[in-house]
A and B are shown apart, each in its own frame.
Chain A
Amino acid sequence: MKKPHRRAHFLMWLIIAPIVAITFAIALTSRPGVPFNETTPETLADVNAAGGD
């Protein structure tokens, strides 16, 4: 590669790497946890109301 392309290549990765790394870190901390089953409490309530165990 000639010098302008060598420079452009390096600068491009200097920009890309932190942007992706930061987005990756934010996404990692924003990942949904263990799925919450909203029907469980009601189901349990129904079972309890019916006198089941």
Chain B
Amino acid sequence: MGHQYQAIQWNKNKLVYSGYVLIAVVAFLAVFIATGLSPHPSGNTADPVVLTIRALGVAAFAMLTMILAIGPLARLSPRFRPMLYNRRHLGVMTFIVSSAHFALALLWYHGGGPLNPFVSLFVSNPLYDSIPGFPFEVLGFAAFLILFALAATSHDFWLNNLSAPAWKALHMLVYPAYALLVLHVVLGAMMTERAIIYPVITGVTFALVSGLHLYTGLLEWRADGGMRSAKSKGWIDVCAPGDIADMRAVIAPLPKGDRVAVFRYGDKISAVTNACRHQNGPLGEGRVVDGRITCPWHGWQYRPDDGVSPPPFTEKIATYNVRVEKGRVFVDPKPNAPGTKVEPAVFNLQEMSS
């Protein structure tokens, strides 16, 4: 959180997690290369350097695919939410693997000629108007530049200095980067390797990732469409107190497309903005842990009555006035200044359970 900047927020769990990922990547590379080097019936042997380039590329592609699947899966099922905690570390590791792939490929295919390797990358194959012969390396290089920018700005120093909206906008470039990588594979390995497994794996992988993002995006779009009906300037009827599970929230639409998270903890109800200060994570999908609203994405916490992070942290989010009347929870759509204390609405717990 905002108490101090750390390039990488290591803790024991993340060390263990990153250790497992590292072991998995090394094991994958070893199996890929060993399999490729095994004797072929034709008597031909694969080049170990080319195999290593391929192995690194496949590993980076698979890792980025997993990263992009985590977000929509976490929106569809809470079971995937713990994976969000480690997504940033996986992203940085993906960049490291893709850097190795890029450096090795650049040296191997473009490092031996008279031209600068970076110039050679762009001019050695001039078939820019051809699909089968397109210089697919250029697409991979463009994706690599985006991944570099994302990895370089991945820590909270940049998040705080750029502001959450600008940082989020920048990091949404990962989607075009993924598209470039898919095209890099489609116009590269898929065109040179005749085995049907290449188009099958590439096609299915992209269909899954894009399908997940389009489906969850459509759900959000529909939800936002429902919010257009929330034009009333008066208090908004959210739900009955019993509709909110204990220590959980109901997310309600507000005018102008904002959302409010209405939390119940025991017989009290408080309302805060649904957007976490960290990365605009959906607070209403989190829960109250140790008396604090906890963001499901990275665990940032806020007190429900004033939206202030517990000391030593200093983040504040907007609160909303809330009341319970005639068995219904009402929220004033006008947000209070971040950190404004609002007395929780209290209701009769026994009436709710009877």
Whether B172 and A5, one on each chain, are in contact in the complex, defined by CB atoms closer than 8 angstroms, is: yes
- Bound together, the chains give a CA A21 to CA B352 distance in angstroms of 52
Residue of A nearest to B198 (CB): A31
CB contacts (< 8 Å) of B186 on chain A: these are 20, 23-24, 27
CB contacts (< 8 Å) of B237 on chain A: these are none
Residue of B nearest to A28 (CB): B199
- Bound together, the chains give a CA A34 to CA B195 distance in angstroms of 10
A5 in contact with B258 given A12-B176, A16-B176, A20-B179 (CB within 8 Å): no
Residue of A nearest to B173 (CB): A12
Whether A2 and B280, one on each chain, are in contact in the complex, defined by CB atoms closer than 8 angstroms, is: yes
Q: Does B26 contact A (CB under 8 A)?
A: no
Whether B210 and A17, one on each chain, are in contact in the complex, defined by CB atoms closer than 8 angstroms, is: yes
Expressed in whole angstroms, the minimum distance between the Cβ of B217 and any Cβ of chain A is 3
Whether B183 and A2, one on each chain, are in contact in the complex, defined by CB atoms closer than 8 angstroms, is: no
Q: Does B194 contact A (CB under 8 A)?
A: yes
CB contacts (< 8 Å) of A16 on chain B: these are 175-176, 178-179, 210
Q: How many residues of chain B get a CB closer than 8 Å to chain A's CBs?
A: 36
A32 in contact with B194 given A7-B224, A13-B210, A16-B175 (CB within 8 Å): yes
Q: Is the interface of B mostly helix, strand, loop or mixed?
A: helix
Q: How many residues of chain A get a CB closer than 8 Å to chain B's CBs?
A: 29
Within 8 A of B (CB), among A1-16: 1-10, 12-14, 16
Q: Does B131 contact A (CB under 8 A)?
A: yes
Q: Does B191 contact A (CB under 8 A)?
A: yes
Whether A6 and B217, one on each chain, are in contact in the complex, defined by CB atoms closer than 8 angstroms, is: yes
- Bound together, the chains give a CA A16 to CA B213 distance in angstroms of 11
Of A4, A13, A14, chain B has the most CB atoms within 10 Å of the CB of A13
Q: Does A26 contact B (CB under 8 A)?
A: yes
Whether B132 and A27, one on each chain, are in contact in the complex, defined by CB atoms closer than 8 angstroms, is: yes
Q: Does A37 contact B (CB under 8 A)?
A: no
CB contacts (< 8 Å) of B168 on chain A: these are 1, 5
B residues sitting closer than 8 Å to A (CB atoms) are 131-132, 165, 168-169, 172, 175-176, 178-179, 182-183, 186-187, 190-191, 194, 199, 202-203, 206, 210, 213-214, 217-218, 220-221, 224, 256-258, 275, 280-282
User: What are 8 inter-chain pairs, A to B, with CB distance below 8 A?
Assistant: A6-B217, A6-B220, A7-B221, A13-B210, A20-B206, A20-B210, A27-B131, A31-B132
A residues sitting closer than 8 Å to B (CB atoms) are 1-10, 12-14, 16-17, 19-21, 23-24, 26-28, 30-35
